[in-house]
Amino acid sequence: MSQAKNTENYREHLGNVNEQGGRIWLFPKIIKGRLYKIRTYISWFYLAFFFAGPFIKIKGNPFLLLNVFERQFIIFGQPFWPQDFHFLVLLLITSIVFIVLFTVIYGRVFCGWVCPQTIFLEMVFRKIENWIEGNSNQQRKLKEMPWNREKIIKRGLKFIAFYGISFLIANTFLAYMIGWENLWAKITGPIAENYPTLIGLIIFSTVFYIVFAKVRELVCIMICPYGRLQGVMLDPNSMVVAYDEVRGEPRGKIRKNEAQDHKGDCVDCGLCVDVCPTGIDIRNGTQLECVNCTACIDACDSVMDKINKPRGLVRIDSINNIKNKTGFRFTPRIIAYSVFMVLLLGLFTTLLVTRTDIEAHVLRAPGKVYFEESPTLISNIYNIEMVNKTFDDKKFRMVVNYPNAQMVMVDTTGVLPANQEQKRVFLIKMERKFITSNKTIIPIDFYIGDEKIKSMETTFLAPVATN
């Protein structure tokens, strides 16, 4: 057991909470190491994609539109209807299994490298804070100083920048929901007509501001359910940001004229703690607060470079490998999750490939079972419900595949408008002399242009022929 584990009661309190239960405001240092640079490049791509997303079109259609107000969804330029809800459910389940699988193998790397909360906080808001208020020591001093001219200017600038970006994020989210053209029309339209949009934007901007300026790491530690769940997903074989205590302990500062050979490689400089955005000491072991941002790896590598020791005292590794040199192992849990994941992906792909752009369902109209139009002619009334999930109007027609049955459309336009759901009424008529059963199965073929899209069946009810 490491020195730290004997002395620290780190599992009993959070790194950013003091003895009285109050919050310790964190001022993490920024270390621009190798991993930080990679994260920066990834975040540029991510941010460019996020802000450009509402403007990206595929064949004139939005790349992504999640209009929950009008139940209109477009994903990768393809319209999805509430009838496609099972795709969303399957996509959610697949994403959850993927994240779980990812966590079992790679720990919480999603949090540090992909999650929008961390990307925005560390790569946007934290950087702006450093530009305006200076490094972590200068920020600490600014916090402690009374409200003088310098503090008012710096805090004022920070508020304007933070709120401005929060407003931009809120606008982008709304553009994903209603489309940027719609949003622009609302922004430039008369305020008396569009004030609900403005109020909504202000509310969401304020929420984002509070999250990124005030709540910060508490989202990852206390609010996010994924963070709370990671304890049950990780095992000693998971790859996590870990301190190599075998190599690092016993830790100790380098002192002049003191023999170092009894010490491990950790010089107890505390830099890995200073850079941690959740305020923990990774040398205590894997902790709930760790979002795997890898800042402590960069920090420790920079120290190792200075003291001419190999990098990687803090690294991404499994606890088993650090302690027992076991290497990476495919555990039964990883295999089970992987198989489940492949099955889900297979099901999702099959459903996606076989998904039709046009849906049609024939239903008997409620009410009277049949009409005796004349002593020799019987008719039944039906509804056809159709959904056109494409962005083009479609000409449709139906063909009754039953001898002597005749179809009559009540509404004769055979055009199904783009991206719309429609219901039409039609009749099937048959002369009494051809009816041999009181319940005849009638096949109906549904065509778009000349292409048969679907074969359906319905029932034709009638009194049994007596001749």
Q: Is 2 in the site for ligand SF4 (CB under 6 A)?
A: no
Contact pick of 271, 288, 386, 462 for ligand SF4 (by CB under 6 A): 271
221 binds ligand SF4 (CB under 6 A): no
Total residues at the site for ligand SF4 (CB under 6 A)?
Answer: 29
Query: Is position 295 an interface residue for ligand SF4 (rule: CB under 6 A)?
Result: yes
Give the residue, chosen from 294, 380, 440, 458, that forms a contact with ligand SF4 under the rule CB under 6 A.
Answer: 294
Q: Which of residues 381-420 bind ligand SF4 (CB under 6 A)?
A: none
Task: With H, G, I as helix, E, B as strand and everything else as coil, classify residue 283.
Answer: helix
The answer to whether the Cα torsion of 157, 162, 167, 171 is positive or negative is positive
Q: Is 272 a residue that touches ligand SF4 (CB under 6 A)?
A: yes
- Give the closest residue to 291 by CA, choosing from 277, 301, 305: 277
Under rule CB under 6 A, residue 293 binds ligand SF4: yes
Q: Which residues of 410-428 are buried (b: 16+ CB within 10 A; e: fewer)?
A: eeeeeebeebebeebebbb
Task: Describe the crossing of helices 225-233 and 85-106 by its angle, rounded to 10 degrees.
Answer: 50
Q: What is the DSSP string of 101-136?
A: HHHHHHTTHHHHHT-HHHHHIIIIIHHHHHHHH-SH
**Region near ligand SF4 per CB under 6 A, out of 148-156, 296-304, 323-331, 393-401:** 296-304
Q: Which window, 98-106, 130-138, 253-261, 264-272, contacts ligand SF4 (CB under 6 A)?
A: 264-272
List 101, 241, 322, 430, residue binding ligand SF4 (CB under 6 A): 241
- Answer yes or no whether residue 300 interacts with ligand SF4 by CB under 6 A: yes
Stretch that binds ligand SF4, among 54-62, 241-249, 432-440, 445-453 (CB under 6 A): 241-249
240 contacts ligand SF4 (rule: CB under 6 A): no
Regarding 314 and contact with ligand SF4 (CB under 6 A), the answer is yes
Q: In angstroms, what is the minimal distance from the CB of 220 to ligand SF4?
A: 8
Pairing mode of beta strands 371-374, 405-409: unpaired
Candidates 73-81, 186-194, 270-278, 340-348; binding stretch for ligand SF4 (CB under 6 A): 270-278
Nearer to ligand SF4, 142 or 300 (CB): 300
Scanning 143-151, 182-190, 255-263, 294-302 for contacts with ligand SF4 by CB under 6 A, the matching segment is: 294-302
Residue selected from 171, 230, 292, 440 as contacting ligand SF4 according to rule CB under 6 A: 292
Which pair of structure tokens corresponds to residue 140? Answer: 């600490």
Interatomic CA distance for residues 90 and 92, integer angstroms: 5
Is residue 267 close enough to count as binding ligand SF4 by CB under 6 A? yes
Amino acid present at 71: R
Helices (H) and strands (E) in the chain, counts: 17, 16
178, 350, 448 from 452: Cα distances, Å: 34, 21, 6
From the list 65, 178, 313, 400, which residue makes contact with ligand SF4 (rule: CB under 6 A)?
Answer: 313
Q: Which two tokens stand for residue 19?
A: 């003895």
Q: Is position 299 an interface residue for ligand SF4 (rule: CB under 6 A)? A: yes
* Cα 211-214-219 angle, rounded to 5 deg: 50
Nearer Cβ to ligand SF4, position 241 or 442? Answer: 241
Alpha-carbon gap, residue 319 to 238, rounded angstroms: 8
Which of 127, 123, 144, 145 has its CA nearest to residue 135? 127
Nearer to ligand SF4, 72 or 230 (CB): 230
| Contact between 169 and ligand SF4 per CB under 6 A | no
- The yes or no reply on residue 30 touching ligand SF4 (CB under 6 A) is no
- Spatial CA neighbour of 55 closest among 157, 138, 164, 179: 179
Classify each residue of 118-138 as buried b or exposed e, where b means 16 or more C-beta atoms within 10 Å of its C-beta. Answer: bbbbbbbbbebbeebbeebee
Tell me if 105 contacts ligand SF4 by CB under 6 A: no
Residue 296 engages ligand SF4 in binding (rule: CB under 6 A): yes
Q: Does 322 interact with ligand SF4 (rule: CB under 6 A)?
A: no
DSSP conformation class of 277: T
Q: Which two tokens stand for residue 100?
A: 């779980």
Name which of 295 and 384 has its Cβ closer to ligand SF4: 295
Picking from 189, 142, 148, 179, the residue whose alpha carbon sits closest to that of residue 63 is 179
Structure tokens belonging to residue 370 = 């049949």
Residue 319 sits in the site that holds ligand SF4 (CB under 6 A)? no
* Contacting range for ligand SF4; rule: CB under 6 A; set: 51-59, 297-305, 381-389, 438-446: 297-305
Q: Is 437 within 8 Å of 444 (Cβ atoms)?
A: no
Binding-site member from 270, 310, 449, 463 for ligand SF4 (CB under 6 A): 270
Rule CB under 6 A: is residue 14 a binding residue for ligand SF4?
Answer: no
Q: Which is nearer to ligand SF4, 54 or 277 (CB)?
A: 277
In the complex, the smallest distance separating the C-beta of residue 162 from ligand SF4, rounded to whole angstroms, is 22
Q: How far is the CB of 19 from ligand SF4 (least distance, A)?
A: 21
Residue 340 tokens, joined: 């489940």
- Residue 109 engages ligand SF4 in binding (rule: CB under 6 A): no
Contacts with ligand SF4, residue ranges (CB under 6 A)? 241, 243, 248, 266-272, 275-278, 280, 282-283, 290-296, 299-300, 303, 313-314
